[in-house]
Homo-oligomer: A and B are copies of this chain.
Amino acid sequence: MTQRLHIHLVSDSTGETLDTIAKAALAQFDDIDVVRHFHPLIRSEADLERTIGDMAANPGLVLHTMVNRDNRRTLERACRRHDLPAVAALDPVTDALSSLLHQEAQARPGRQHVLDAAYFARVDAIQFTIAHDDGINWENWEEADIVLAGVSRTSKTPTSIYLANRGFKTANIPVVVESPPPDKLYKLTHPMVIGLTTSVSRLVEVRRNRLLSVGQAPETNYVDEDAVKRELAFARRMFADNGWPVIDVTRRSIEETAAAIIKLAQSRDMELA
C-alpha cells in the first residue's frame, strides 16, 4: 500500500542542500507518495509564520538547514508544538567540523553562495560550455577542461551542462561518419577528451523517439540498425586510435556519467602531478 508523506524542506538559504539530501534519502524507501513542500529563503518572521502555517496544515517530516539561531529556535519550537518530527539535516557534519576545528559554526545563512573566485569560475564554466556545445567554436577547445565526443544522442549536451555546473569547462563534438572533426581535436593537450558510447538498440530507440517527438518519419539511416552499428563502430575506432577513455552511457544517468568523468579527470591529474 502506498503511504502518503508530507515533507517540509525549510532553509534560510536556497534549499539546494536540503533538496539533494531529501532526494537521496527518499530513494531508499518504497511505495511512498511524497508531497514536497519547498520553503527556501526563509529569513523574515513573516516567511517563518507562513511556513509554520503550511507545516501545521500538512503535518509530516520537517527537514531544515536553518542557520540563523533565532529562526531555528522558532522553527523547532513550532515543530514541538505541532508534534512534528524535525531533523536539522546538516548538524552531524557541522558538529564534526566544529569539534575537529575547535571552532563554533558561524550562523550565516547562504554563506556557501558567497560570490568568490570559485563561484565566478563556475559561472565561466557554464558560459564556456554553452558556447562550445555541439562542435561550435572549436578554435578554443584548448581552453576546455573536458571535451566529450560521441555520435548523436549519446547525451553529450546534458552531460556537458552538468559538468559545467560542477565547474568544468566542457566542450562537446558530434562524431559524424561523413564529416571528420577538425584536426585540432587530435592535438589537444590541456583538455581530457572522453568518448561516449551506448548500445545499438538503446540508441535506435532514443533516436526513434526523438524523430517522433519532432514529427518526422523514422525511416532514415539515423535509426537503421545496421547504419547505427557502423556509426558506433566508427566512433569507437576513433576513440581507440587516440587512446581516449570511453564511457558507455547505456544504463547510466547523466549524473553517473558525469561522476565517472570526474573520476577519470582526477586520476589523470594525479598521474600528471
User: Could you list 6 A-B pairs, sorted by A, with CB under 8 Å?
Assistant: A14-B256, A17-B23, A32-B101, A40-B263, A61-B97, A89-B93
Q: Give the chain B neighbours of A65 by CB distance below 8 A.
A: 24
Q: Give the chain B neighbours of A255 by CB distance below 8 A.
A: 14, 16, 113
The yes or no answer to A44 lying at the interface (CB within 8 A) is: no
- A: which residues have CB within 8 A of B? 3, 5, 13-17, 19-30, 32, 38, 40-41, 61, 63, 65, 67, 85, 87-94, 96-101, 103, 105-108, 110-115, 119, 123, 126-127, 130, 133, 155, 157-158, 161-162, 164-166, 251, 253-256, 258-260, 262-263, 266
Copies in the complex: 2
Q: Give the chain B neighbours of A157 by CB distance below 8 A.
A: 126-127, 130
Known interface pairs A97-B26, A101-B29, A130-B133; A256-B113 also in contact (CB < 8 Å)? yes
**Do B254 and A93 touch across chains, with their CB atoms under 8 A apart?**
no
**Do A27 and B114 touch across chains, with their CB atoms under 8 A apart?**
yes
Q: A14-B258, A41-B259, A87-B92 are in contact. List 11 more A-B contacts (CB 8 A).
A: A16-B255, A25-B94, A28-B111, A30-B106, A41-B256, A87-B96, A88-B92, A115-B253, A119-B253, A161-B164, A162-B165
